[in-house]
Structure 1
Amino acid sequence: MDFDYFYEEQSDSYTFYRIPKMLFTEKLFADLSTDAKVLYGLLLDRISLSRENGWIDKEGRVYVFYTIRTIKASMRCANTKACGLLKELDAFGLTERKKQGQGKPTIIYVKDFSRFPKAEFKNSDSENSRVPITGIQDFPKPERNKTDMNNTEINKTDPILSVPDVDKDGRESYREYLYDRLEMEILYERYPYDRETLDAIQTLMLDVICSKRNYIRIAGDDKPINVVKSQFMKVSCEHIEYVMDCMKENGTKVRNIKQYLLAAIYNAPLTLGPYYQAWVNNDRAEGRI
């Protein structure tokens, strides 16, 4: 790319993320990776948005939402790196995370170190201030499992991979995976009056993915559970939007909503493309495009 130069009378035309200078100048943060410092700046940028949205706890502390999926997109990194950067910020005391459970996103408190006494920065011994690198790299087992699953999803060469029976911790890992994969925050924003339905869809998908049954009934047919699990692992945000739109367009009363949703979710990756093509063809025939 042949970009232009800056000229004498030219004013700044960029918007900026704020990354505190002290992260680069103080010994206390000497061993904090550059990527973690950048992520801190991204999280700091969300503070104003959180204030506007009223994301403040009972103690008056502002918190932000920033999912692993968002970090991966912002930092252009894999799941393991995204989890590691958050863990690194936690280890340095720059963030504090609080899980909400029940499929809700993790709350992140971005810590304000500007009020930390300057004498403490100056007197910080390098060995006392450093966080061992091995401590940052030792991820807990649920994060490793989630990373393996994300890498499998990205690599679509073998879509029918068996999803093992999972325990309580494994189920929670899959819940977090689905929350990020389906981009639930975006869905909540687009369907503000259908939050219960969206939660029901996520829970239903979670039940299927964690099921120990050999077969599951889809549209009247008993299908091997691994085939259904594989299909559900392909479902993304746009597929759920398609399911929601189909439900709104359906004028008949649904007697068995669970079976309806199972069939709709299972078929979404197969029918979304033809659905949009038919929509385009119809608009083209009527001269709208």
Structure 2
Amino acid sequence: MTQFLIKDTLIPPYMAFPRFLLDMEQLSETAKILYVLLLDRARLSQKNEGWVDERGRAFIFFPIKDLAETMHKSEMSVKTALAVLEKTDLIFRKRQGPGLPNKIYVKVPPEYLVQTDRNLSLIQTETYPSDGQETVSVRERKVSGSNNEKNNNKIKKQGSKADRTAYGKYQNVFLNEKELAQLQKEIPLYREYIEKLSGYIRSSGKRYQDHAATIHSWYTQDHPAPVRRSYECKEDESL
């Protein structure tokens, strides 16, 4: 028995099917569904403590037997699908030792990541085009044409400095030697942040005047300084 959807119909929890899987003809349907299942579990790891390694990467444990039962497939089918996903660099398996399940890291192509800026509204994050074309944020639409022209001129001047080198998959993150050295010193995962910024600039069309400052800002937001507690008291008080 099925029912029609109405305005107030509540949809039960679901798993997201990444759009890029539609273009990966080398993957079987079993491999695609398996990836969706692993991605769903990995998203839970992102939200829970203890499921991130020393490099900040989320991982999961999902034994082959359990995967086979969940997907209603044979263990051999699951093993084959896992091998294909690993070959296409969509997952990485790290062995833990005899009798222990592998750590599974789920990976996503950088060009399909949506790196939401803390200053962007929900409406802005939903305006990313699906065909790869550049878009203009809501905030930028409200700026007059003359102001946009002034801002673009400033960005062009900033990006035209000859001492900067292009980094990232799309060669659109510009840093000079001093900035790169500072990132290497202060941010352990600086390469990942460079790739995140490169993918975000490509997908959103957003521009930044200072790419090094943007990376520092993102890292600070993701790794806030611990709160310092004061245990001092006045002479007439006790702890």
TM-score range, shorter chain: 0.3 to 0.5
More helix by share: 1
Give the structure-1-normalised TM-score: 0.37
